[in-house]
Each structure stands twice: as C-alpha cells, then as structure tokens.
Chain A
Amino acid sequence: MSITQNLTTSISSTSSAFLASPTFTPRYSCFTSFLIGIKIASFFCLLIKILIFFSGYCRSQVSLPVKSVSICKCVATPQEAETAYKTKVSRNANMGKLQAGYLFPEVARRRNGHLLTYPDAKIISLGIGDTTEPIPEVITSAMAKRSQALSTIEGYSGYGAEQGEKPLRSAIASTFYGDLGIEEDDIFVSDGAKCDISRLQIVFGSNVKMAVQDPSYPAYVDSSVIMGQTGPFQKPVQKFANIEYMRCNPENGFFPDLSSISRPDIIFFCSPNNPTGAAATREQLTHLVQYAKDNGSIIVYDSAYAMYISGDNPHSIFEIPGAKEVAIETSSFSKYAGFTGVRLGWTVVPKQLLFSDGFPVAKDFNRIVCTCFNGASNISQAGGLAFLSPEGLKAMRDVIGFYKENTSIIVDTFDSLGFKVYGGKSAPYVWVHFPGRNSWDVFSEILEKTHVVTTPGSGFGPGGEGFIRVSAFGHRENVLEACRRFKQLYK
C-alpha cells in the first residue's frame, strides 16, 4: 500500500481540509517533514523507518473513529536521492519563497500528533472555519432535481457560461446588490472566493504591490508570493518584502492607519474580518474608498461573512459612494449555505473599474475566467439559485443564527473567564487576547489540556501574535463541551 507524503515547507492548506469535526467521515490528510539537505533527510528517514518497523506505527489511510491519519515516508533513501533523475526545469523561485510551517497544515499536524498521544481523546475542532450544519432541504432538493435532470434529454446541459448561469448572476445582483447599481453582468460566478483570489492575482500579474490587513486570511499573502509580487520572507519581522502589512489591533479599532503605509496598487480588505471578527463601519469604509481613490489603488473586498453582521455595518463595499470605481468584491456561498464542499462563490467587477490606461478590469477578469476556468459546477449553481429564493434565504438566516448563537456562547465563556475578547458579534470567529504570550504556545496549551483545536493568531500574520482565533462552527453540543473545558482550564 502506498504511504502518502507531504511537506510542511511547501504543502499547506489554507482551508479546513485537514481538520474536521468528530462527526465527519474520515478525511484524507498526510504530512511529512521535508528537511533541508539530503543528509538530514536521510537521518530522519532512518529514524522513522526504525520507528515504523518497531512500533507498527506506519499505516497508510487508516480509518480512525475520528480521522484518518497518514504517516510520513521519506522521499528517497540517500543512495536513491543522489542518483535519482532530475529534469532540467528550474523550480519556480516564487514557490521557494513560501515558508515552512504554514498555518493550517501545521495546525492539523499538531492535531494529528495530539491524537496519536491521546488516541481516546474526544477532540473538538474550533480551528478551521468549516461549516457543520446540514444544508436546508430547499437547497438540496433543487440540486437533486438538477442532478436528476442531467439524465434527461430536455434537462441535460453541457458547458455553461464561464461567468455563471444568467438566472444566478441576476439573483446575486438583485439579492446582494439590489439598489447599489451593480448589474447582472458585473457578477462572475465561481467555485469559491479562495479560487477567485488567485484568479484576481493572475489578472493583476507580478508587477503590482499589495497591502493586506495584519492579521489576515493567509490566501491573500500566499497568492501574492506565488504570483511573484513579493520579495523574500524576512524572518526577523515575519513579513514578505514588498507587501504592505496594515496592522489591525484593538488599539486602532481593527482598522488600519492608512496614512502610515506607502501606496499599494491592490488593497485586500476583509469585512467582517477573518480572523479578528471586526466589521468595518461606514465611516471606515468611506475612508478606505477615499484612500483608494486618492492613491489610484484597487480594493479587493472580501465580504464572505457579510451575512453574519449584527448592526448596521455595510454588507458590501458598494454601499460606499464611489466604490465602483475603486473596488472589486469577492464573496462565497461557503459560510452562508454550508457550501464549503459544494463549491460556489462570486466576484463583482464593476464596469467602472479601470486600469491606469483606461482599460476595464472586468474585460481582463472575464478573459481569465474564460481561459483559466470553465465555470462553477452546474449542480452547485442550481443550489445557489435555490438558496437565493425567499425560502432559501430564510433557511440561511436560521443556520447563520445558529452559528451566531455558538459564537455568543464562546464569547460569554471567555468573557466570564476575564479574557479580553474581540469579534464574535458580526462574524463566526472569536479573537481572544493572551497578552504577552506566544500564540502557538497558547494553542498547544489549549490542545494539550482541553483537546480543543483552535488557531494561533500568528498564523494570520505577525499582527496576530498574542491572540487565538476560536471558530464558532460546530454542533451545539461540541461548542458547549468545548466551553466547559475552557472554563475548567482557565478558571
């Protein structure tokens, strides 16, 4: 049987692929450490082989009650590595800039390691932001109907429009951007915001500079590195050269001081924010749009959590006058409809958004969508359309309400323990401050002592140090149990 392998230096998941709640069917996940230098690798190979031999440790694709665990295998024995054929194709230097110990696989690796140490532990995952509640039937019955129809002559459809099916584009425009002047043909349906982020980077190319909030969702920085927009990683500051990191912390109300950065071409801005949970105010977004206008920058606004907003914070950047000339908005059905596995999202590129030579950004984005993509799955799109029906939207509000209740429970728990807690009002994430502490240490402590997986703040950027992100996706009983355990630990 093959033994799977993976590298923490270069392989990573920015998603929940490797983390799952205990009720999920076993998932495939595998890691291995790829150490620098064949000699070091061969030493560990030998060590691992010995462990494998004596402990019967190594099995591939084992199904455990909670998760499948795959064990590492070295790439090659020393002799094989030295004589193994190599092509003459140079490795992409941009890939080489990506750092070891990337966030989510590292979290998953530690989780899996923990499970090996405590095989009977009931691990609760409040790490990855993966939805857990079943999809409302109004949506799944529409997808079932579409699937069924594909077996009929009248109902079969092949290639769809790469930009998405017209009724869905129209429904997205009217539901989310009703009075905001965003039209159906400004909407591009996709297989998710993460994929769109990379497609946007391909549109922009390597000769632009971006700014990100710090902390922020890792895909913005990583896709920028892969595209070749950044310089090398600077270990002392834990930042990539040529990215503007805009610190967002309690002191500045989680909104960056834009006067302190040098002009970027592209500004990634996520609100409500992952990981801090902060939702920007109308004033703040007006300031952001004005900054972009004054500096000729383009905002890529990630509104994937907008439906979690409590209060009157803007749901869309296009609520701000002038935004159509400076912003793109990307969003997703993942956290609204539980479509994390079904895969559906969208990006809005207004016609008014122009490059410096006057060329419409939407035309280039359309070209990328037609050339580098081939449309979201038609079944997923049928589900999206059903989601946007009155019945679907009501069902969504119920599910989001459920996750928001989870969030309140977690916020109350940490509040009651005397922690400074942020977020949790307009996003399914709670951002807990552990002043003066290393976030990986806190992560480990929580995991070790409560068997609860969280996410260390520094994984989202240096601005996340001293914080832990607790996600509120989970079955109620797991969230309650996790909170009981937190109270036990920190009482």
Chain B
Amino acid sequence: MGSILRFRKLCFLEPVKSSSHDEKTKSEGKKISEAPKIDDQKTCQSATTLLLEEKAKQKKQKKIPREWRCIDSCCWTIGYLCTTWWLLLFLYQCLPANLPGLRAPEPPGARLRREGLTPLHPVVLVPGIVTGGLELWEGRPCSDGLFRRRLWGGSFTEIFKRPMCWLEHLSLDNETGLDPPGIRVRAVPGLVAADYFAPGYFVWAILIENLARIGYEGKNMYMAAYDWRLSFQNTEMRDQSLSRLKSKIELMYVTNGFKKVVVVPHSMGVIYFLHFMKWVESPPPMGGGGGPDWCSKHIKAIMNIGPTFLGVPKTVGNILSAESKDVAFIRAMAPGLLDSEILGLQTLEHVMRVSRTWDSIISLLPKGGETIWGNLDWSPEEDHVCASTKKKHLKGNSTDSRRGFQELESTNYGRIVSFGKKASELHSSELSTLNSPKQVSLSNGNSQVPNASCGKVWTEYDEVSWERISKIVENKAYTVETMLDLIRSIAPKMMKRAEAHFSHGIADNLDDPKYDHYKYWSNPLETKLPNAPDMEIYCLYGVGIPTERSYVYKLSPSGRCRSNIPLQIDSSAGGSQNGCLKGGVYFVDGDETVPVLSAGFMCAKGWRGKNRFNPSGIHTYVREYKHKAPANFLEGRGLESGGHVDIMGNVALIEDVLRVAAGASGVEIGGDRIYSDIMKMSEKINIRV
C-alpha cells in the first residue's frame, strides 16, 4: 500500500489510470445511469483501454483513490494559492513605482531641498534603548552558526528556534553587569544598527532618508550605536563606545570644514548623550579628556527626541513585575497564558531575569524624587483630565482641553505604586487605617514560600521572604522615593550593581566634588550643562497619547511558582472619575512611553535661562508634536504620529531636524511650540534652579 502510494505521488502516471479504472468498475457495478456520466466514462474507457489489463490486477484496492484525492486536493489548494500569490507579486513588481493613486505625500526632505537646503552640519544619531541591533561575536555551543548574526533586532527568528539559548546570550552577568564568560554580544555598528528595528518597522530610516534627500550621506551622518544593555560608563570600559563617538565627532568636524555637529538622540540615547557630554570634558582616566571647551567647540545643537530626562514610570512596572500596560492587558484578557507552565514557559519570569541583568534599565527610573514626581497627596499633573485627552486625541485640536475638570477629583499621580485601587484614591491621612484584615490573613495563610521549586529562573524574588512582601503590600502607597527603597528591598543585588552607575536624586550643591563621579553624569538634576553658550538644546516629543504614570498593584494569585513574581498589576482596577485609571494603570499626557513631565521639564524650566543646572545659559526649546493617528491605511504608522518611536516618522519633526542640520537656529524654526500643560506643571514643581 505504502509503496504504491509513494509511487503515485512520485510519478502520477499509472496510479491515476488505475484509480480511474477502479472507480469506473465500481460505478458500473452500481449501475448508476447518468447519461453524461456514462458518456464520459466511455470516452475515458476508450482512452485507457491500453492499460486495462494491468489495472484489473489492482481491482481490490478501492480505498486508495479516496486517500490520494485528499492529498491531491491539498496540493491543489496550495498550488492554487501559490500561483495566485506569485501572480499578484509579479503584478506588484510590474507596477510602476509611482502609481497616481498610491502616490505617497512628498517627503519633507524633497520639499526642503527645493527650498534650497543643503547639508551644513554633520549629524550624529544616538539610538535609544531596545531599538539598536545586537549581534553575536562569541557564544556557547547552542548558538552555533549565529556568528555575526543579529540576536536583537531583525527578524528575531532565534527566539522561536532556541529560546533558552537566546535568553542566555542576551543576559549579562549578575555581578558585574558585563558579558558572562564565553559570551560576547556586541552592538551592530553603522547606520544599519537602528535604521529598522525589524523588517518594515522603521526607527531611524525615515529620518535618514530625508536627510539624504538634502544631500547627507555616510560621511556626514553617524549612528552612535552602543550596547544599550550596559550602563553608560561600561560601554566605554568594554567597547570604548564613548571614545569612538568622540573620535567620530572630531573627524566629522574636521572633514566637513569645521562645522559643528547636530546631535539627534532618541529616548534613552538622550541621557546617554548627557553622560557623554560630561565624560568628554572630564579628565582621563574616568573621562575623555577633551578639555572644558570640547562641547562648545564641536556641538551646535542637541535635538532630543522623546527625551527621558527624568525617567519613565513604565520602568517601575517593568522592574517590579516585568509588565507594563500591554502585558497587564494580556493577562486580563487571557489569564494564565503568561503564567502557564504547560510548556515549561515562564515567560515573564524569564523576561524579568534577563532584563534585570541590564543596568541600563535602572537609568530610566524616575529621577528627582518627590520634588518632581509628587508625593502622596500632590503631583504636578494632578489637574490632568484624561477624558478630554481622549477627545483631543480624535479631533486633533485642543479647544476643549480644560473643559470640566473642576468637578473632578484630582488623581494622586504621586503614588507611583499603590496596592489596591482604594489605596490610590484615599487621602494620605486615611491610608494607615486601611489595613484590612483580609490582607493580613492572606499573608498569614501563605507563610511558607516555595523555595527552589521553580526551576532555575533567577529573579531576586526567590530570596525575598513572603513576610517581607506582605509587609510591602501593607504599606499601601509608594511615592517615587519610597518606591526606590521598595526596589532596593526586593532586588538588592541589582540595585547595588546599578546604583554604582546611576543616581536618581537632586543635587543641592552642584559644585560638590562628589558630582565629578560618573554615576551622576546621566542625571540632569545632578550635573551642570557644559560651558557652551552657543549650543542649543531642543526637547522634541509627542503629546496627546495616554501614558503610564502610576500603577495599582495586587498580590498575584497563589500558584505553585508564586515565589517568582509575587506582585502584578491589578488590571481589574479601572474607571476612576476622570477616566485616567484603566486596567490598573493611571495615565497622563505623553507620547505613550515618556510622560510630558519627564520629557519637557528640563527644557521648559530646569535649564531655561541661566541657572545652576545651566550655568552658561544654553538656549532651550520645547517643541511638541500633537499625536494624530494615521488617517488611512496607506500612511502606515502615520505622518503626524506622536508615539514614542513612531514620531521618528513625523513630518514636522523631520522638518525641524533638517532645518537645524542645514543651519537654522531654534528661533528661526519657530522657538517653543507647546500643546500640553507642561509650562503649568513645571511651575508647580518647587525646585531651586
């Protein structure tokens, strides 16, 4: 049987005949007398008479044709689909590139070129966290054949093929925050490092293309790719990334006729470049030894896109429970999916373990403490109205932005983590009374902690006792400052490692010699800007998208492996009076990742004018881009998007960057451009500047 089947599959010759014959004899036997049918049979019979003798031998095998037909039709379907697909593909290829109907709007680069813009200042692009590609240079045996292939960025095929191997290679060492022995994963160099994150998902590509349209090319454009998993100083220790950046800027300065560079950092790249500016002027060995005038000599402007100057609240959710809005949402929709142990997958735990070895994440924790982010009963954004944001979102202009907020109670954004929705809403004086007996009994009931039962997934929660966690929960509400203590208590090793590299406070006296240490360099509230009065600093960011600001947490339902991540966002908490609470997350205005406060405060107030953070009076500009969802499908990710990454395709932003690169100053491109309440919020922050 089997051999016959195979034979048929291979040649399609005689089996066909035989089957037809079998069927025929069968139908004859049944004496079905449909006229056309029989005619047909006859014709066929005449056609196949030659083979009749052979087939007579195979009469008994009547079942085979049926089976064969199934495979046959499968093949037929596949073939049909393939052919159609190819045909369409072929037609698509033949399509003239600029079909009138599909014509994309003119890119800003082309328009500005007609205006006569030409490249003047070299451009340095500094990518942010996650968007840069990482490739393998040396690995364990399981990563055979991946030499110089991308582990991060690109198509991510390796995650599916060998997930554990992939995780192992992307993790860093727990103790040092550097490579584990025997593994070398390095940043992809060059423009390809972050032009596309994954095929078709642009990051810098659009900006690069538009810059190229006015004449930029490889010699006056440089992507300062670095390993975004490491702490900033470690990128210099291990890869000399900062030295490389310095050398490239100097080279471009010289080869382009002594034109200063325009730096365009994005997301975490913003604080990376802040670190660089301090590093380059500091004396060696800790710094780059460029001398006190290096920045003023080499840098014309810094155009920070979606800057994370004061940190991102999302990071808190990430560190506490490896989840943010999206993950919490998935958990609400399909409980158990992420925690399922059926496949031996402990997705979140693994994610947490890997991401906790990355020092750079700590650089994104909110900085400035309660002064900036608010305390238990106060926060700079407290008047924010989310419902109207929604409307703004859709309409595109802000006529009704402050309608009807007086009847609403203000949100306690200052409580960045609270346990239970109630705890997030009550006044602070009532908080202590809220110790509900139910919570206490819960903590008593589950006093034994499953210890090493959960495989080899290492999150520091293993080492935190249940009592400690229940105590954490009893505390109810955490501000930014107490939240840091919270993280220190649940992840002591990670914080010890990372706090050698980052600091999250506010400096009282910036001339204190302790601030010469590199751990302060990436915190704008603990460093002075360089002495470069001609330099300009821009804060370019999107507004009009609800952005995570604080979280409502709960204890995870107890399960076998509960010890791994005992906390999770309470996605059932929703619908506060002003609509800012959704799925356990309080939202505020921002670009979906960075709240307006973090992105805009330094340019709006912290550095405005001559002050102690900005002793030379560098000009700052706030340029906001209101989010507008793509109007139709053809626009892709939108030409006026304000999303944290999608803003890199925002036409207005690109135009601003191009104009500055071509020589315009901040005033010439229109100075400040503000849609949000950033000025009001900044006023409320009581900080000595």
Task: Judge: A and B partners, yes or no.
Answer: no
Q: Please give the residue numbers on chain B whose beta carbons come within 8 Å of chain A beta carbons, in ascending order.
A: none
Q: Please give the residue numbers on chain A whose beta carbons come within 8 Å of chain B beta carbons, in ascending order.
A: none
